[in-house]
Structure 1
Amino acid sequence: MILDIDFVSDFICPWCFLGRTRLVRALEQVRATHADLEVRVNWLPFFLNPDTPAAGEPYRPYLEAKFGGRRGVDEMLGRIAAAAAPDGLQFAFDRIATRPNTLPAHRLTYRAQSQGHTAAQINALGEALFAAHFQQGRDIGDIATLVDIAAETAGDDREDVQAYLESDEDAATVRRMAGQLQKQGVNGVPFFIFNRRLAVSGAQTPAVLGAAVLQSLQNA
């Protein structure tokens, strides 16, 4: 039994990290009754702020300008941390110095998928990008950082990845994919599409995501 999941996200979106975490939990629950389930996740790009400078920008100043100063940001991040705690997900917002431009990270994920990396490698890469930003405070807009992550999670050749990221290869394709998704109505993330027929928006609970998975399997 095959389950295709289109997972639309941005690697600097905390709710996307939580949504991915909840999706994994939901799939574990579904597999308890569907042991033969084969899951294929297609990681798709979204840009929360497509105008982010190529070198990124300071994290806290950006948030404070957008969300009403220090108090507003502290309250917002506190709500996110509280929402994630029951799922065992911890954020280290205080470690984040840079809000990166995520085009290189999305290109890296696109490259892994287009080159036929295994599902396990692709999922490990995507999860590592989230963790690098939100838990380790690493700059996922930095080429050297991305090379390390690709080598560690997907076994990629460092020189090949560096040459790829230093070029503009697939940049237009990734931007076009993100634009097409927005034209199709994806205006917020995370966004899940199960078996090309059932869509769920937001970091829903594992129970909600699991129910959507089961419904999509019944309709397949």
Structure 2
Amino acid sequence: MLNIDIVADIVCPWCFIGKRRLETAIELVRRELPNFEYSTCWRPFFLNPDTPPEGEPYLPFLEQKFGGPAAVEALFERVREAGRAYGIDYAFEKISLRANTFQAHRLLYWAQQHGSADALIERLFVAQFQRGEQVGGGAVLVNIAAECGYPAAEVAAYLTSTADAALVLADAQEIRAMGVRMVPTFILEDQHVIVGAEDPAVLANAILQLAGAAK
């Protein structure tokens, strides 16, 4: 069993691509090691920690950050092109608010106490980048969790509490202290770090090296 930590933020489009590329890498690994098993741990990163709890207008933020509408559209197209190869059709035009992702990261933390959160984070990425849903909190997160099989009432009670809030913030601070500044970042067995949404072959080779089966 190989442990893979993925440092990511829900509002990072490259993290969605990184997830799909990791899945492709796992398929490549299993061609060499059919019985290969792994576990994932999604760890929190806040691309813009100053985002207000209610969110902020999406396009104005990006246009200010990247230098205007033309620069943002060029960025969008580059992401769209990269995503198409992995079955992702980005719908940036549906996004009205840039979400504060603290509650989403809390939900992921909670879900991972009950097993894999891969299906949940996939649904969160779909919500953010394909459906334009507000992933900052409230009923949207409860509904997403329920779609993924989690008990809605329990999730709602958790999200309205402060449970694990300090732990999630501490984990994000630990990630920063490790020097992580770009997402996605993959950490294999706490020792091999791969920064960025790398090509699946790069990820697969790193995994195979750790598994002692690299060619």
What TM-score does the superposition give when structure 2 sets the normalisation length? Answer: 0.96
Q: What is the one-letter code of the residue matched to 1:178?
A: A
Query: Matches of 2:112 and 2:94 in 1, distance apart?
Result: 30
**What secondary structure does 2:162 align onto?**
coil
Q: Counterpart of 1:152? A: 147
What TM-score does the superposition give when structure 1 sets the normalisation length? Answer: 0.94
Aligned-pair CA distance for 1:40: 0.2
Query: Matches of 1:216 and 1:96 in 2, distance apart?
Result: 39
Q: Counterpart of 2:76? A: 77
Query: Matches of 1:23 and 1:89 in 2, distance apart?
Result: 14
Q: Report whether the alignment pairs 1:141 with 2:140.
A: no
Contact residue 8 and residue 45 of structure 2 kept, 8 A: yes
Matches within 5 A, 1:154-193: 155-193=149-187
Structure 2 stretches lacking a partner, 5+ long: none
1:148-183 CA distance string (max 9 Å, x none): 111111x22111111111122111110110011110
Query: Matches of 1:88 and 1:151 in 2, distance apart?
Result: 24
Query: Matches of 1:157 and 1:175 in 2, distance apart?
Result: 24
**What secondary structure does 1:43 align onto?**
strand
Segments ≥4 residues shifted beyond 3 Å: none
Q: What is the one-letter code of the residue matched to 2:132?
A: G
RMSD: 1.2
Matches within 5 A, 1:22-101: 22-101=21-100
Q: Counterpart of 1:200? A: 194
Query: Matches of 2:88 and 2:167 in 1, distance apart?
Result: 32
Q: Counterpart of 2:10? A: 11
**What secondary structure does 1:87 align onto?**
coil
Q: What is the one-letter code of the residue matched to 1:147?
A: V
Query: Matches of 1:29 and 1:147 in 2, distance apart?
Result: 35
Contact residue 197 and residue 216 of structure 1 kept, 8 A: no
1:178-198 CA distance string (max 9 Å, x none): 011110111111000112221
Query: Matches of 2:211 and 2:181 in 1, distance apart?
Result: 26
2:121 to 110, 126, 129: 126
Structure 1 stretches lacking a partner, 5+ long: none
**What secondary structure does 1:218 align onto?**
coil
Query: Matches of 1:169 and 1:50 in 2, distance apart?
Result: 19
Matches within 5 A, 1:107-118: 107-114=106-113, 116-117=114-115
* Paired positions, count: 213
